[in-house]
Amino acid sequence: MHLGLGSNVGERLQHLERGVLELRREGVHASRLSRVWVGAYVGTGPAQPEYLNAVVEAHTSLAPLDLLARTQSVEARCGRPPGTHLRPRTLDIDILFFGGWIIRNSRLVVPHPRLAARRFVLEPLHDVAGLENPAWPGLAAQLQLLRKQQPLQVYGALRLRPEDREASHA
């Protein structure tokens, strides 16, 4: 399972780190962490501050909709108010992949429907998992195209203790 984390308000790196810790308290255990990437907002609506983004490769015994509820709870505890979709936020957590599952319902779509259009997702996903995924072929080629269109750079790493990272890669 892979989760995308982003923050563009306040102490962005701290929000990402707290998100990983809060996910662990919810039964979502990080096995690998990407580097943290910084880049401009990609989406509709007015301009927003730059985002920090990372991907967490994790494992859990939660079912997908239970995981969604837990990620939303973590976002709220980390200061994200309701109704901030497409607005600046302290923490955003997206379920990118859930093993080989394909989920399409009114509450959750997995693989994440916009991941192939977002370099800020593909670069950190490449850090932890590579881009060969049978649920979404062609991601490596798509990343090559996005590198020409969406500026992005490495910001640093999540600063977590080894016991919080569980053999993570940073």
Structure letter (DSSP) for residue 85:
T
Active site residues: 80, 89, 92, 94
Nearest to 54 by CA among 158, 162, 150: 158
107 φ, ψ (degrees, to nearest 5): -105, -25
Q: How crowded is residue 142: how many other Cβ atoms within 10 Å of its Cβ?
A: 18
CA geometry: angle 109, 112, 95, nearest 5 deg: 85
Q: Are 50 and 38 in contact (CB under 8 A)?
A: yes
The DSSP bridge partners found for residue 154 are 37
Name the maximum alpha-carbon separation found in the chain: 40
